Amino acid sequence: MQGGCVSEIVTIYILKFLLNNDIQIFPNPASIVLNITVEEVGVYEIFDITGKKLLFGSVFAGINEIDVNNLQPACYFIKIINRSGSLVEKWVKE
């Protein structure tokens, strides 16, 4: 492995660590509202397991509430995108 590859891998893990610490998604499982706590402005996208985008919108610093009441009970993915990068997490709708 060349030095540049190791450096890129380390950078990716550091960014993922920083994003994970800056973003909280709760409760999981959720039934009516999914809360997202972020430290900077960004956007969210919710996908089903086939990759179809179902919901999207903006998130602002602090706690953001997303109405998930109309989604069917299933496993979903939420993607949070901000200046620091992006993070994808699995969550469950009850």
Q: Report the CATH number that the domain containing residue 85 is assigned in CATH.
A: 2.60.40.3080
- The answer to whether 85 and 19 have CB atoms below 8 angstroms apart is yes
pLDDT of residue 20: 54
For the record, the structure tokens of 30 come out as 């959720």
In terms of residue numbers, what domain contains 61? 3-93
Q: How many domains does the chain have?
A: 1
Dump pLDDT digits (tens) for 2-59.
Answer: 444 444 444 444 444 445 557 889 999 999 999 999 989 999 999 999 999 999 999 9
Q: What distances in angstroms separate CA 29 from CA 10, 40, 41, 87, one per listed residue?
A: 31, 24, 24, 18
Q: What is the pLDDT of residues 60-86, one digit of tens each?
A: 999 999 999 999 999 999 999 988 888
